[in-house]
Amino acid sequence: MGLTESEINIAKSVLGRELTEVELALLNSHWSEHCSYKSTRRWLKQLPSKAPWVVRGPGTDAPLVEITPGLYITFKIESHNHPSAVDPYNGAATGVGGIIRDILTVGAKPIGLLVNLHFGELDNPHAEWIATNVVRGISDYGNRVGVPVVGGETWFDPDFTHTPIVLATCVGLVRAEEVPKGGVKAGDLFIVVGSGADRSGLAGSAFASKTLSGEEDLGAVQVADPLMGKRLIDLVQEARHCVKYIKDLGGGGLATAAVELAEWFNLGLELRLDAVHTADRDMGPVEVLTGETQERLVFVTDDLECLAKLLDKYDVTYSIVGKFVEGGRLKLLWRGETVADLPISLTAPEVEWAEASYNPPELPHLPQPPLEKAIDLVLSSPNVAKKESIYRKFDFDVGVRTVLKPGEGDAAVLKLHVGNLGVAVKGDANPRYSYLNPRLGAANVFVKAYRNVVVAGGWPLAAVDSINVGSPARPEVYWQFKESVLGIAEAARSLQVPVVGGKVSLYNEWQKPIKPTVVVVVLGKVDDVSHVNRAVWSDGDKIYTMGVTRDEVGGSEYLYRVFGLVAGVPPAVDYGVERELLNVMTKWRGKIRGATDVGLGGYAVAFAKLAVNSGVGAEIDVCKAHSQTSRVDFLLFSESNGRLITTGEEGPGVEVGTAGGEELVYKCGSTILYRRSVSELTKMMTL
C-alpha cells in the first residue's frame, strides 16, 4: 500500500467513516505519485503552455497543436522506466502501446514514434540484457502495429545499469472536425473496449511510485498485445464520429480513468465493476478497478448503435460499464453492492519535500593530451556512435511518411500528405549536464532539441518534456527536479516554444539516485519537405561553420572519455543566438547541401559524422572557425551552444574546408592535427 497514514486519515475525515477495501485501492492507485503528481504539480504549473497555435495544452491525455488551419498535430511523451527495469521486453512494448493510445484519445492517426533510451554500459551483462530486450520490445510492438519508429537517442552511463530510462514519444495527425466533440452530459455511457481485464499490471502506478528493491513482482508489469493495439488504432479512425470522448486505460487503470473523466466534465459516475469484461473470471473488484491491462480504451457516447456496429466490425470486445450522472460522486458497484462511494473532489493532497543544493566537482586544470588519441577516444564513444544496430531493428518507413530517417539528419521529418507540409521532431537529453547544474542542464537540453529541429529545416512550435530523477525524499533530488523545471520554463519562454505536455518519473534509483535525466522533445513545422537538410556533404562541397567556440568542456564527452571526469559547468545558453540561427536557416532554406548542429563531442564529432554519413572525406582547418579559446583541444571538443555546420556550393558563416577524397583531415593552418580514412571512422563510430 503506497498510501501514507496521513493520506488515509485525510480521506477518512472527508468521508466521516472508514474506507472500504475498494476505496483504499482506488486512492492507492489514483493518489500515487505516478498518477497524481502530488509532489511535483506545483512546480509544473510554472511551465508556459499557451500560444495562438496551441488548441489544447497539458492536463488531458494528448495536446493539440494547429499546424495549418483545420489540421492538428498531437504529440506526447511517456516513461516506462520501472517496468523496463523488471521486465524490459514487456516494459518497453507497453510503453509504446500506451503512448499510442494517448494519441488515439483525440481521434488522431499515429504517424511516428521516437524512443529516448538510457542504459548502463554494454560490457555489463545486466545492462546488456536490459538494452537488448528493451529494443526488442519496442521493435516487436511498433513494427506490428504499423507505426514507424523514426527517431530518438540512446545514451550509456553506469547510473542506468539497473534503472534504465525508457521514454516513448508518439506523433499523431488529425483534422479539426475529426476530434471527438466532447460535451459529455449526464446519461452518457461509459464503455470499456479492448482486451479483457486480467491480473497483469496490478497496482502498476503504485509500483512506479517507489524505489526498486530487486524483489518486484512481475505481475506489476503490463503485458503487450500489439495485434489488439492495431485493431484499436483502426477502430478509432472510424469510431471518432460516434463518440464524445476517448480516454486511455493506462496508469491507474479504471480508478484513474473514472476519476479524471468525472473531474474534467464536472459530473458524477456510476460504474458496475462486475460488468467489465475480463480474461479471468476469478478477479475481484479491487483487481478490476486497479489493474492496468493493456490495449484498452474508454469510449463515452450517447450513440451506442453507431459505436456497436464498428466494435463488431473490428471484432473488439466491449462492456457497457455505467453512465455519467449529475452530482460529483464516483459510485462503484460489485454484484449489486456499493463498494465505493467517494466525492470526485477528494484529490491527493500536495506533498512538499525538503530541498538542498549541492556542489558538483569543479573542473580541474587539464593537461593537453595527445590529440590523435583523444579524438579516437571520443569518436569511439558509444554515446557518439551511430546506433544502426538499434534503429535497423525498427521499421521506420512504414506509412511512407518518413523523409529524414534515423541517422540521416538532426531530427526526424515526416510528411503530412498535405501539399509539401511536414513536421520535424527531436528529443534530446544530457544526464551529465543535468547532474552538474540541473537548471542550466535542462536549458541546454531544450536548446539542443530546438536547434536540431531548426537545422533539419523546421520552425519550432511546441515541446513536451520528461523529467526522470531519484526519490524526492532526498533533498538533493527534489532540488534537482525543481531546478530542471525552472530551466525548461526559462528556455520555453525565451524561445517562445510552449510546453504542451510531459511526464515526471520519480524513484529512479538503485542503491543511489540516477543522474537527473531531462528529455525535451521539440516539434516544428516544415513548410516544404523537399528542402529538409541531411547531415551530409558531397565531393567538392565547401564547408561552413556558424557560432563561437568557447572554453566549455564542463560535462563534455571529451572530459569523460579522455580524463574519466564528470565535472565543471555545462555550456552557457544564449537564446538570442539560437533564435538567430532559426532566421539564418530559414533564409538559406533550399540553398545548401546539408547541415548539422555542433553538440556532443564538439567539432571533432560533428565533422566526422558528416564524413561517415556521406562516405566522403574532407580537409578542414578548424582554426578558421570563430573561437574564444587558445587551446586546440578545447576548439575541437568544446560543446558550446549556438553552433552549426552547413555544406554546399555556398553557405552562411565561415568557410573552413572542402569535402572530397577518402580521408578526414583536421588541421590548424599548415599543421595536421588528425587524419583518418572514412572507412576507419565508420568502424570506429558504429555501435
The residues annotated as belonging to the active site are 34, 80
Task: Give the up-direction half-sphere exposure of residue 58: CA atoms within 13 A in the CB hemisphere.
Answer: 19
Q: Which of 592, 150, 687 is nearest to 408 (CA)?
A: 150
Burial of 275 (0-12, 13-18, 19+ CB in 10 A): middle
DSSP-assigned letters across all residues of 487-510: HHHHHHHHHT--EEEEEEE---EE
**Beta pairing class for 54-56 and 654-659:** unpaired
Is 423 strand, coil or helix? strand
- Alpha-carbon torsion, ordered 207, 211, 213, 218, to 10 deg: 20
**Beta pairing class for 268-272 and 329-334:** parallel
Question: At 189, which helix (H) or strand (E)?
Answer: strand 189-194
Question: At 306, which helix (H) or strand (E)?
Answer: helix 304-313
Question: At 230, which helix (H) or strand (E)?
Answer: helix 226-239
283 CB-near residues (< 8 Å, 6+ apart): 197, 198, 199, 291
How far apart CA 609 and CA 620 sit, in angstroms, is 14
Grid coordinates of 415: 510528411
Grid coordinates of 36: 497524481
Is 537 strand, coil or helix? coil
Dihedral sign from CA coordinates of 657, 661, 664, 667: negative
How far apart CA 458 and CA 438 sit, in angstroms, is 27
Give CA separation, 130 vs 200, 382, 390, 508, in Å. 20, 16, 13, 15
Grid coordinates of 280: 479471468
Residue 1 gets which letter from DSSP?
-
How far apart CA 102 and CA 520 sit, in angstroms, is 18
Q: In what order do the strands lie in the sheet with 499-505?
A: 402-404, 412-415, 422-428, 517-526, 459-468, 499-505
Q: At what angle do helices 575-587 and 475-495 cross, to 10 degrees?
A: 40
Question: At 168, which helix (H) or strand (E)?
Answer: strand 165-175
The answer to whether residues 673 and 624 touch, using CB atoms and an 8 Å cutoff, is no
> 533564409: which residue's cell?
587
Dihedral sign from CA coordinates of 56, 57, 58, 63: positive
**Beta pairing class for 509-510 and 512-513:** antiparallel
The answer to whether residues 344 and 325 touch, using CB atoms and an 8 Å cutoff, is no
How far apart CA 445 and CA 451 sit, in angstroms, is 10
Q: What angle do CA 395, 397, 403 make, to 5 degrees?
A: 135
Grid coordinates of 503: 511526464
Q: Which amino acid is at 637?
A: F
Residue 116 gets which letter from DSSP?
E
Give CA separation, 392 vs 535, 584, 681, in Å. 18, 33, 20
